[in-house]
Amino acid sequence: MEKVTNTSQDMHEHFSRVAAAYNDIRTTDLEPILSIKDTLNGLPRINAADIGCGAGRYCLKLFQYLDNLHLTCIDFNEAMLEVTSGCLQAAGITNFRTIKSLAESVPLADNSMDCIFSFNAIHHFDFVRFMEKMSRVLKSGGRIFIYTRLRSQNARNIWGRHFPLFLEKENRLHELHEIEEMLKLIPPLVVESVKRFRYWRNSTLSRLVNQARNGHYSTFSLYRRDEFEAALQVFCDNIIDNFSSSEKVGWFDENVLLVVRKM
């Protein structure tokens, strides 16, 4: 497979463009939050960081379901952090701070965090460097919760199946065995559990088109403009050909929650 290249500046500009509308065009899943709540049940205080927090939609859910949470929201994009702050402040939440930083070099003290969260973001990181850094930041017994989609899961969603070049463009995702192999390079970290999620989604073709045009996935920013428009037209044709109604488009999305523990 030919590797698609993009610069950090490209991604930074993409997320700056979509920040204001990001929480409206993305789906926020409650199920991983409930699983995290069950895992952390009983901790009197949770010092945590959400790395690659984006516009804060999962930060808000964490506060809604985790008691005594003190959260550091970290992203490299200023516009996203501004939306996160506004979202949390509007909900009356004060136990948080925001930091602009790359994931691999977060300015957190060693042995300072009970847990680390990352939702749909690790494909933007250098995974090994990120996990090496987290192994130092975490307290002994601390956990890293990674919610992501695998490359094979991406191939089965509505975009992977029907949007031309989507799989070729999105070459940043991992498979589970690849993640497990990379973690072997970082001895303090061990995989504690893996939980798979499968969600039935419903939408309309017009909403799907709106999501694609507005950067629902950063994958769409990897297309040239003319290339994107041509692919979008084929996508519309594929949906019309494969579904009985463009008002009732259904498919399964899949994700995985990987829990990694520091021994």
**Alpha-carbon distances of 261 from 52, 114, 191, 233, rounded to whole Å:** 19, 10, 6, 45
Q: What is the C-alpha separation between 63 and 84, in angstroms, rounded? A: 13
Q: Is the pLDDT of residue 1 over 50?
A: no
Q: What is the C-alpha separation between 21 and 42, in angstroms, rounded? A: 36
Q: What is the C-alpha separation between 113 and 48, in angstroms, rounded? A: 5
Domain segments of the chain as ranges: 8-151+173-200+254-262
The pTM assigned to this predicted structure is 0.92
The side-by-side arrangement of strands in the sheet containing 69-75 is 96-100, 69-75, 46-51, 113-119, 138-148, 249-262, 189-203
Please say whether the beta carbons of 184 and 230 come within 8 A: no
pLDDT computed for residue 5 by the predictor? 40
What's domain 8-151+173-200+254-262's superfamily in CATH? Vaccinia Virus protein VP39 (3.40.50.150)
Q: Is 237 exposed, middle or buried (0-12, 13-18, 19+ CB in 10 A)?
A: exposed
Q: What is the C-alpha separation between 259 and 10, in angstroms, rounded? A: 30
Average pLDDT of every residue of the chain:
93
Neighbours of 248 (CB within 10 A): 11
Q: What is the C-alpha separation between 127 and 175, in angstroms, rounded? A: 12
- Give 163-179 pLDDT, tens digit per residue: 999 999 999 999 999 99
pLDDT computed for residue 27 by the predictor? 84
* Confidence bin at 8 (pLDDT 50/70/90): low
- Give 132-154 pLDDT, tens digit per residue: 999 999 999 999 999 999 999 99
- Above pLDDT 70, what percent of the chain? 91
**Mean pLDDT across 98-108:** 97
**Mean pLDDT across 62-91:** 96
- Give 186-218 pLDDT, tens digit per residue: 999 999 999 999 999 999 999 999 999 998 899
- Above pLDDT 90, what percent of the chain? 88
Q: Is the pLDDT of residue 2 over 80?
A: no
Q: What is the C-alpha separation between 169 and 238, in angstroms, rounded? A: 19
**Mean pLDDT across 83-109:** 97
Q: What is the C-alpha separation between 247 and 142, in angstroms, rounded? A: 46
Q: Is the pLDDT of residue 38 over 70?
A: yes
Please say whether the beta carbons of 131 and 260 come within 8 A: yes
Residue 155's Cα: distance from chain center in Å? 17
Q: What are phi and psi of 88, to 5 degrees?
A: -70, -40
Which tokens hold the place of 152? 């094979």
Q: Is the pLDDT of residue 3 over 50?
A: no
Query: Lowest-pLDDT range, 5-9, 120-124, 168-172, 243-247?
Result: 5-9
Q: Is the pLDDT of residue 52 over 50?
A: yes
